Structure 1
């Protein structure tokens, strides 16, 4: 911005925690739609923000022994830019968090099937969210195979240095399975909605929601696709993006690739 000096906002870096976020998509009447939830206000991280389902990797994700259908963990490690153990934990966390936060389960009784209706697992879903049972135990008890082939790696964002909670987050794409219904039956969401990427951005521009830079960036990228089929054909590069918190005059801003479009849009700032 002319006439102002931008300086990096210096703070001691706290360690990052691996996390996984899933952009659940479907074809709608006016284009692709994405499942979004508004986090409960007052939560320690991103309270009140509109986000995709997701969360931190749990220790039990890395330790889980599951029946795995899809690319091997070596393939996932290559695409996610990490080791096989971390890649496996990230993929399982993505599938677990999607089930916990919106009731969509990317798993089935066989390697080529998907559960048709997840309401039968409502009690187990609550127990998973409250950490009374592990995801691995749930899958084993129900005889389910995780369908990692239904996930696509998409992007990689790291929370800026200076934030009190920091996540090293991989974003995935998944198509909503036929017959399953995404819902808001989670303690972490105030509201859920299916929206086109453009509608979600327009709502934010009008002050009706709060989008953090990674969420806005993913919505902006996905708004270029006309159908789910086009998304699934894409193989995006996945560089690690580490935004920088900077002082722009008296305002705190976040510097990241594509930031000009974010600030030109006129939506509310995340800080």
Structure 2
């Protein structure tokens, strides 16, 4: 399933707001850089599933299903992190950013998926024991991604991270771990339309759920979470059973076009994750307002 012209229906109130914004000629709000992660896992029997959460109604974009994610924090770009996989310079080339903001986007993706879903995309640093603070040895291979990270100590670490009592780099360092940037697959980039008062410049990533880990509704920002096959999610959205915004629907359609996880991973390597999709208000052939993607 893909979404091209005539685009997405637009409520009259939103269309009127967009027209008023255009008529007034004011400057658009500066988008906040953000990252979101599609967690994927094999489905029972065949196929694969994606993890979605429904944001609390009181929140921005509340009441709709989305993927775990959030805004980039200043600490995401300023701290030193030990890496396994592509380093910030590699990510800078892939995302067409400078190394510092590229690190921030990747770090935010890994941090947010741990904060909101309890999934840790990290591995022990070479020679590190649990809870140690060793020195990294460039070129060494890290240990395996940990399995279950839902125990009391891990949950205390995660709660400290959410409450800003510690930073992601500090958490990993105290645990003797390094971020696994190779477990994040860049997929796309979306920028909120200019007429919206709150705007985001969001980088979308894919990640396969590490063996032994499980998602948990721990963020306090969702009132429902579930694993669902992408095609089923799209079908339910079309029936009106699941409310989703255009970036979620389009991304699900792109992922669902591939028959299995191997094909999805292969497709990610061929995608352009740097050129943004920038929706705009347009008009369908019948005169009704539509949100156009091209």
TM-score, normalized by the shorter chain, greater than 0.5: yes
Partner of 1:96: 111
Deviation at 1:58?
Answer: 0.2
Partner of 1:84: 99
Q: 1:42 aligns with which of 49, 58, 62?
A: 58
Decide which moves more: 112-121 or 164-173.
112-121
CA pair 202-246 structure 1, distance change in 2 beyond 3 A: same
Q: Is the 8 A contact 2:78 2:100 kept in 1?
A: no
Partner of 2:41: 26
Q: 2:30 aligns with which of 15, 21, 36?
A: 15
Deviation at 1:255?
Answer: 1.5
- TM-score normalised by structure 2 residue count: 0.81
CA pair 109-212 structure 1, distance change in 2 beyond 3 A: same
Partner of 2:233: 200
Q: CA RMSD in A?
A: 2.0
Q: Is the 8 A contact 1:24 1:35 kept in 2?
A: yes
Q: Which runs of 4+ in 1 moved over 6 A?
A: 247-251
Q: SS of 2:40's equivalent?
A: strand
Deviation at 1:245?
Answer: 3.1
Q: SS of 1:240's equivalent?
A: coil
Q: SS of 1:94's equivalent?
A: helix
CA pair 149-250 structure 1, distance change in 2 beyond 3 A: same
Deviation at 1:112?
Answer: 4.0
CA-to-aligned-CA distance 1:68-100 (integer Å, 9 cap, x gap): 100121221111121111100000000000000
User: Separation in 1 of the partners of 2:175 and 2:53?
Assistant: 28
Partner of 1:243: 279
Q: Is the 8 A contact 1:25 1:34 kept in 2?
A: yes
- TM-score normalised by structure 1 residue count: 0.87
Q: Is the 8 A contact 1:127 1:133 kept in 2?
A: yes
- Which structure shows the bigger proportion of residues in strand conformation? 1
Unmatched 5+ stretches in structure 2: 1-5, 7-14, 126-141
Partner of 2:248: 215
Q: Is the 8 A contact 2:189 2:203 kept in 1?
A: yes
Q: SS of 1:217's equivalent?
A: helix
CA-to-aligned-CA distance 1:234-254 (integer Å, 9 cap, x gap): 221232111113477996532
Unmatched 5+ stretches in structure 1: 258-271
